[in-house]
Amino acid sequence: MNAQMMSQIGEFIIALIVLLGALLGALSAFGLIRLPDVYMRSHAATKSATLGVLLILAGAFLYFTFYLEHVSAKLLLGIVFVFITGPVAGHLNGRAAYRSGVSMWDKSVHDDLKPALKRERERMRESQAVDSSKAGVNEES
């Protein structure tokens, strides 16, 4: 009687974890629809979707470990893989968006990357000019 009740409570907690992960996925979709800007939308899509997947996969891992007696290394590998690659993909996408000139929201007030990028481009242009002048000297001599 007692063991059966414990097992039912454990099942309920695992289902609650899975339901919480699903709600986080729905929250990330809501942010993807409602936020005004690529960068803010990337904030919503990357973080909360990754956390939702982590919760669901952890719930599946617990369920298969305790109720079906099957410790799945594949599921653990999936958890680690999503945990590593989700933020990396978000970062790459935001970098590509900024460098290809997607504009920010009208009401955003601060942009630290703009002067840094300008400086870097000036430095690259100077070094290219130095290279081409050296090449010209070599050809003349």
Partner 1 sequence: MINSMLIASLVILSLAILGCLYRLIKGPSMNDRIMSLDTIGIILLSMIAVLCMLFRTTVYFDIILLIGILTFIGTTALARYIERGDVIERTNDESDR
- Residue 56 in contact with residue 21, Cβ under 8 Å? yes
User: What is the length of the chain?
Assistant: 141
The answer to whether 40 contacts partner 1 (rule: CB under 8 A) is: no
Half-sphere exposure of 47 (CA within 13 A, CB side): 7
The answer to whether 49 contacts partner 1 (rule: CB under 8 A) is: yes
Residue 75 C-beta: closest distance to partner 1, Å = 6
When binding is defined by CB under 8 A, the residue of 4, 100, 138, 141 that contacts partner 1 is 100
The answer to whether 63 contacts partner 1 (rule: CB under 8 A) is: yes
CA dihedral (48, 49, 53, 56) positive or negative: positive
The two three-digit tokens of residue 133, written as one number: 């002048």
The answer to whether 66 contacts partner 1 (rule: CB under 8 A) is: no
The answer to whether 41 contacts partner 1 (rule: CB under 8 A) is: yes
When binding is defined by CB under 8 A, the residue of 6, 88, 116, 117 that contacts partner 1 is 88
